[in-house]
């Protein structure tokens, strides 16, 4: 089991932010985590990465039960791409050094690297279409280029779990499609990590995402095969407004039917 969350709740300042979450991710699955602003997605990810602990319930990640394992060790097996990570990185580093730092799951590059590490980093950058960026200073990259560098960084430690938290935020339609193509390619590779992809937008749900978790007001609204979740009825119920789901290019596209305000 990659992720096994049982009856987990998390409360802060007398407010229950996650309530009775049950979620299992098995090997061979790739999940999309979908929810509106403030629904609890980031909180759930912070828990999976061991930055916060459940107030109630039990959970294990990559077979390690929380409370019985050194989380810093576990984090090396989890690749994480998020805006908060992007803000923490040292922007004056080269793209290559940013990728290399992924081997140690550190923000800067403090440990020595060898030729094999550099070969691996360069190969990853090539496969993600960013070999031309190797010597470039990270701060000078476009948002689409940064995201590809960060995915290469996340893959540097050959993680078993890859968490992509809203990677398409701030991308134009071309950069978004390019990034989605790269993610589909990563998912197809032999020994690909299990991917958890977080988004607000259903059209980003690629065919490789076999399962989807809908989260609403800190609770699981649905957790099932993606094709069962992405129906007009389910999404209308989830969003609380009448929507129509259409399939195009092997993806689902959502249009709002009812009036959002009067
Ligand atoms: N440390 C905290 N103390 C108090 N409230 C918190 C804390 N962390 C998160 N929250 C609240 O929990 C709720 C869920 O937040 P979270 O960031 O997990 O949502 P999200 O689904 O990731 O939202 P978004 O899509 O906007 O990033 C929000 O109402 C937020 O204000």
Q: Which of 41, 49, 52, 238 most suits a substitution to test ligand 1, by most atoms within 8 Å of the C-beta?
A: 41
The number of angstroms, rounded, from the C-alpha of 52 to the middle of its chain's C-alpha atoms is 17
Residue 262 confidence (pLDDT) above 70: no
The Å distance, Cα 146 to ligand 1 centre, comes to 25
For residues 159 and 232, give the distance between their C-alpha atoms in angstroms, rounded to a whole number. 35
Q: Where in the chain is the domain with CATH 3.40.50.300?
A: 1-77+161-262
Closest CA to 30 of 162, 204, 190: 162
Q: What is the mean pLDDT of the chain?
A: 91
Per DSSP, the three-state class of 91 is coil
pLDDT tens column, 129-152: 999 999 999 999 998 999 999 999
Phi, psi of 145 (to 5 degrees): -65, -40
What is the predicted pLDDT for the residue at 104? 73
What is the predicted pLDDT for the residue at 67? 76
The tokens for 189 are 């590779």
CATH architecture of the domain with range 1-77+161-262: 3-Layer(aba) Sandwich (3.40)
Closest CA to 189 of 221, 214, 162: 162
- Say if CB 125 and CB 95 are below 8 A apart: yes
What is the predicted pLDDT for the residue at 234? 96
Within 10 angstroms of residue 35's Cβ, the number of other Cβ atoms is 22
Using pLDDT thresholds of 50, 70 and 90, give the confidence band for residue 66.
confident
What is the predicted pLDDT for the residue at 260? 67
């Amino acid at each position: 089991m990659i992720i096994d969350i049982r009856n987990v709740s998390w409360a802060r300042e007398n407010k229950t932010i996650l309530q009775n979450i049950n979620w299992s991710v098995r090997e061979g699955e790739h999940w999309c985590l979908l929810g509106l602003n403030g629904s609890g997605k980031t909180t759930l990810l912070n828990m999976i990465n061991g930055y916060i602990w459940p107030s109630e319930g039990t959970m294990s990640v990559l077979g390690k039960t929380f409370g019985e394992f050194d989380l810093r060790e576990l984090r090396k097996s989890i690749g994480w791409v998020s805006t908060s990570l992007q803000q923490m990185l040292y922007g004056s580093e080269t793209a290559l050094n940013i990728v290399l730092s992924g081997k140690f799951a550190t923000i800067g590059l403090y440990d020595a690297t060898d030729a094999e590490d550099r070969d691996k980093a360069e190969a990853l950058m090539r496969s993600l279409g960013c070999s031309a960026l190797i010597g470039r200073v990270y701060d000078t990259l476009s948002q689409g280029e940064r995201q590809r560098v960060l995915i290469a960084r996340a893959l540097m430690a050959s993680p078993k779990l890859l968490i992509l938290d809203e990677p398409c935020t701030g991308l134009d339609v071309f950069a978004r499609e390019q990034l989605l193509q790269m993610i589909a390619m990563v998912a197809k590779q032999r020994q690909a990590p299990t991917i958890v992809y977080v988004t607000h937008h259903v059209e980003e749900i690629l065919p490789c995402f076999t399962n989807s978790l809908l989260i609403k007001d800190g609770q699981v609204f649905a957790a099932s095969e993606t094709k069962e979740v992405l129906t007009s009825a389910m999404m209308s119920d989830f969003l609380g407004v009448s929507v129509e789901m259409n399939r195009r290019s092997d993806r689902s596209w959502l249009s709002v039917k009812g009036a959002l305000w009067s």
